[in-house]
Amino acid sequence: MRNKTVPILFLSLFLTTLLFSQEESKSGPVIKDFGKVWKIDDPDFELQKNVELKVVFDIMDSPESHQEINKKIETAARFLNMHAQSGVSSDQLKVALVVHHSASKDIMNNETYRKSYGVDNPNFELVKALLKVDAQIIFCGQSSKSRKIPKDNLIDDVQLALSAMTALIQLQNKGYRLIKF
C-alpha cells in the first residue's frame, strides 16, 4: 500500500508545481498594454467590490535610463487592472497621479523628450492610456518652473497645479488616499 502512496504524492506535487509555474501575470482590462498583475484566488482579506476606491499616487522618482518606463507611473495601471480583474467596476476606480521632482521628465511630450534625451518618451503611451481612462495626471507648477518644463512641453491633457503639495492636499481633502511607493 505504501508503494502506491509515494508516487501519487510526488505526482500531486509535480502537477501543483507545474500549475503554479504556468500562471502568468497579465494586463488589462482597463489598461491593455501596461500594468500586469497576478490573479489572487481566495484572498483572506476580502476585497470590497462595491466601494469607490479613490487613490492619488505621489510620483517623484524616475529611472536613470531615459529609455525605461517609470514603474511608479505604471503602478497606477496595475491598480486599475488588478481591481478590474477582481470584479471592481471601472467607474468605482478614481486615480490621480501627482508628478514632480525627477519624474517631471516622464510626462514630457515626445518632441520635447527627444530634444532633451535623443529618444521618444518611453512613458508616452502609458500616460496616454491612463489619461484615456480618465486618470488625472497633475504636474507640479514649481517643478515646471525649476526644471524649465513649461505646460506646452507636456503630454496633452496633463494638468498643471500650483505645486505637488497643493494637489496632494486638495485630492486628499476630496477623499483620495495617498499611495507613495
Whether 27 is covered by a domain: the verdict is no
Residue 37 gets which letter from DSSP?
Answer: B
Whether the per-residue pLDDT at 66 is higher than 90: the answer is: yes
Q: How many CB atoms lie within 10 A of CB 83?
A: 20
Identify each DSSP E strand in the chain by its residue range.
Answer: 53-59, 93-99, 136-140, 159-161, 177-179
Residues 31-48: pLDDT tens digits? Answer: 999 999 999 999 999 999
Residues 146-165: pLDDT tens digits? Answer: 999 999 999 999 999 999 99
Torsion from C-alpha of 127, 59, 160, 66, nearest 10 degrees: -60
Whether 24 is covered by a domain: the verdict is no
Q: Read off the CATH number of the domain in which 74 is found.
A: 3.40.1260.10
Q: Is 5 helix (H, G, I), strand (E, B) or coil?
A: helix
Report the candidate in 62, 76, 75, 77 with the shortest Cα–Cα distance to residue 108: 62
pLDDT for position 23: 79
pLDDT for position 181: 76
Cell numbers representing residue 90 in the block: 471601472
Domain enclosing residue 105, as ranges: 53-179
Q: Is 145 helix (H, G, I), strand (E, B) or coil?
A: helix
Whether 130 is covered by a domain: the verdict is yes
Least confident of 14-23, 119-128, 171-180: 14-23
Which of the four pLDDT bands, split at 50, 70 and 90, describes residue 21? Answer: very low
Whether 143 is covered by a domain: the verdict is yes
Q: Give the number of domains in the chain.
A: 1
Report the candidate in 112, 26, 150, 126 with the shortest Cα–Cα distance to residue 70: 126
DSSP letters for 115-130 = HHHSS--TTHHHHHHH
Whether the per-residue pLDDT at 67 is higher than 50: the answer is: yes
pLDDT for position 180: 87
Whether 162 is covered by a domain: the verdict is yes
Which of the four pLDDT bands, split at 50, 70 and 90, describes residue 13? Answer: low
Which of the four pLDDT bands, split at 50, 70 and 90, describes residue 141? Answer: very high
Whether the per-residue pLDDT at 12 is higher than 60: the answer is: no
Whether 46 is covered by a domain: the verdict is no
Whether 150 is covered by a domain: the verdict is yes
What does pTM read for this prediction?
A: 0.86
The kind and range of the H/E element at 3 are helix 2-22
